[in-house]
Amino acid sequence: AKTLRLILGDQLNSQHSWFSEKDPSITYLMLELRQETDYVHHHIQKVIAFFLSMRNFAEHLKNQGHKVNYVQLDQEDNTQDLEKMIMALVKKHDFDQFEYQLPDEYRLDVQLKSISKNLVIPCRSFDSEHFLTEREYVKDFFQGKKTFLMESFYHQMRKDFNILMDGKEPVQGKWNFDHENRAALKDKRLLSKPKLHPKNVSEILEMLETAQVKTIGNVGDSPFAWPCSRAESLEVLDHFCNHLLVHFGDYQDALTTWDPFLFHSRLSFALNTKMLSPLEVVKKVENYWKAHQDEIDISQAEGFIRQILGWREYMRGIYWAKMPDFAEMNFFNHQRKLPGWFWTGDTKMKCLSHSIGQSLDLAYAHHIQRLMVIGNFALLAGIHPDEVDKWYLGVYIDAIEWVEITNTRGMSQFADGGIVGTKPYVASANYIKKQGNYCTHCAYDPKIKIGEGACPFNSLYWHFYDRNRDKLEKNPRIGMAYRTLDKLKNKEELLEQAESYLKDLDRL
Ligand code: FAD
Ligand code: SF4
């Protein structure tokens, strides 16, 4: 039967069983669509990285002898709409059946189901053969529970996939080697250069400009350097094992102006587009650690593996357990808009100007910049989670809704009321100061709470607790904060200070 098979932009999995045989009756369809460039304003590097990786993948399939129909954004017959494109092609080429891999986004899941209904030919969906668990696994695992504890899911994954196990026990007797006090980076000399893949992207850039695709962020000064093929992605993974794994856990939470990537892997884009599989990354890191146990502590490897085997897989499961309601949740009923400097980095607060500036320049910030600097501020300032989601979904190279929204609305903004986390991730200036050097270069003083030069995080922190008392006071993990707040002598002044900042966030 003449078959049309759709491959979405984040389904660049060359190891998929679809490709194990060459069949001239199968046509693979890949589309660059305005539908995808426009559902949110994306970072310019993100759009380039997706299109470039898709084009490389199509080339790879063709070289393997598969039949591929690749439609560029500027192609004349591109109607820019997924349904219209599929309908037209099925009609034009008389396809007998339509097949697709299950998408990871709710939006596309709904759309593809509707397309399948509207098509007159038989339609079939396949697993994307990427994740370690099925869509519904997390939902079933936590059946009947209000809170979904990541840690218990993670233990199960370790056992099921026999990762870092010693028989039935975790290696070295512990599941989790997270240190209470993750270190700030004190010595620049520890840093090693990232493995970049600079390339000329002027052709795609020109196409996007001509088409007037609205984007955010910059591509200008910083060379475009994201891995856009499986071969490049494997090099980034190798580089991580050889040079970065040794310090990964130690400096995972460090905040510094010295370097944007530190010891982070930069693998999220390669993983989320499925150029690499999570299991191969986890196994490679486990094996590398096993072979280098005298140099690399278990805590570095376990910390990294937990992010992928635990957090990444868990977030995906939460997404399918809680969508579409999750996207509407606003536990604190926050209503403010993001200040304009989220699109320029132009604020006097150094932690934010640095973290946002870096995000706009590189389409990248590491986890603690996303969670404890930018997300922390948005939550303390009472920004509407829709606003926060839209920004995160646009700005980061790795932002696809299933992993963006669960991290942003869930983990970072606590807008889900405690499905992902057990308490909100908020902190005052003291935390940011302790983790690195941002405060040293700041116009505000992290030690001052009230008056001239007072760091906004200090008063906003208490304002957040004060205004959300009815929602948080009964949480056993938070009660302590209220006892401290109620003992503060200058509580009223502190709240007034916060009010004055909240009146005009653009001024900060
Ligand atoms: P590393 O620090 O080297 O970690 C290795 C890998 O672990 C990552 O590549 C990623 O695949 C996985 N990982 C780590 N933490 C998480 C997590 N919390 N959830 C899921 N996977 C994780 N990650 C995305 O891939 N896309 C997003 O849109 C995204 N949005 C985020 C928004 C907020 C507010 C926060 C707090 C986190 C977000 N994350 C997101 C998770 C994490 O910050 C990024 O995966 C990470 O910074 C990517 O850089 P890296 O590859 O160098 O990661
Ligand atoms: Fe950020 Fe406050 Fe430190 Fe400035 S003083 S860098 S605003 S935490």
Distance of CA 82 to the CA centre of its chain: 25
Q: Looking at the DSSP assignment, which residues form a beta bridge with residue 97?
A: 3
Q: What is the pLDDT of residue 222?
A: 66
Cis-peptide into 324, omega within 30 deg: yes
Spatial neighbors of 507 by CB under 8 A, at least 6 apart, are none
Q: Which amino acid, 125? A: S
Write the residue with the smallest CA distance to atom 5 of ligand 2: 446
C-beta of 378 in contact with ligand 1 (< 6 A): no
* Structure-token pair, residue 438: 């941002």
- Nearest of 284, 359, 271, 275 to residue 312 by alpha carbon: 271
Query: Which residue's alpha carbon is nearest to atom 2 within ligand 2?
Result: 455
- Locate the ligand 1 atom nearest the alpha carbon of residue 396 and give its number: 28
Mutate to test the pocket of ligand 1, among 163, 272, 403 (most ligand atoms within 8 A of CB): 403
Q: Which of 455, 505, 507 to mutate to test the pocket of ligand 2 (most atoms within 8 A of CB)?
A: 455
Whole-number pLDDT of residue 243: 97
Centroid of ligand 1 to alpha carbon of 335 (angstroms): 26
Distance 268 CA to ligand 1 centre (A): 6
Read off the tokens for 463.
């304002």
Residue 238 host element (H or E): helix 230-239
pLDDT recorded at residue 134: 96
Please answer whether residues 505 and 381 qualify as being in contact, where contact means their C-beta atoms are separated by less than 8 angstroms. yes
Does any ligand 1 atom lie closer than 6 A to the CB of residue 267? yes
Distances (CA, A) of 115 to 7, 364, 437: 15, 34, 52
Q: Which ligand is nearest to the CA of 378?
A: 1
Pocket of ligand 2, beta carbon within 6 A: 349-351, 429, 432-433, 438-439, 442, 444, 446, 455, 457
> Which residue's C-alpha comes closest to atom 48 of ligand 1?
268
Q: Is 113 strand, coil or helix? A: helix
Q: Is the ipTM of this complex over 0.90?
A: yes
Centre of ligand 1 to C-alpha 193, Å, is: 20
The domain ranges of the chain are 3-126, 137-322, 340-507
Going by C-alpha positions, the residue among 418, 320, 339 that lies closest to residue 384 is: 339
Domain 340-507 fold: DNA Cyclobutane Dipyrimidine Photolyase, subunit A; domain 3 (1.10.579)
- Complete DSSP assignment for 118-131: H-SS-EEEE--S-S
Q: DSSP secondary-structure letter at 95? A: -
Nearest residue CA, atom 7 of ligand 2?
Answer: 349
Tokens of 491: 């509580």
Distance from the CA of 53 to the center of ligand 1, in angstroms? 20
The tens-digit pLDDT sequence of the chain (508 residues) is 999 999 999 999 999 999 999 999 999 999 999 999 999 999 999 999 999 999 999 999 999 999 999 999 999 999 999 999 999 999 999 999 999 999 999 999 999 999 999 999 999 999 999 999 999 999 999 998 877 899 999 999 999 999 999 999 999 999 999 875 577 899 999 999 999 999 999 999 999 999 999 999 999 766 789 999 999 999 999 999 999 999 999 999 999 999 999 999 999 999 999 999 999 999 999 999 999 999 999 999 999 999 999 999 999 999 999 999 999 999 999 999 999 999 999 999 999 999 999 999 999 999 999 999 999 999 999 999 999 999 999 999 999 999 999 999 999 999 999 999 999 999 999 999 999 999 999 999 999 999 999 999 999 999 999 999 999 999 988 989 999 999 999 999 999 999 999 999 999 9
What are the structure tokens assigned to 390, written together?
């839209």
- State the closest ligand 2 atom to the C-alpha of 428, by its place in the atom list counted from 1: 8
3-126, CATH topology level: Rossmann fold (3.40.50)
Of 380, 306, 278, nearest in space to 336 by CA: 380
Topology given in CATH for the domain delimited by 137-322 = 1.25.40
pTM score, whole prediction: 0.97
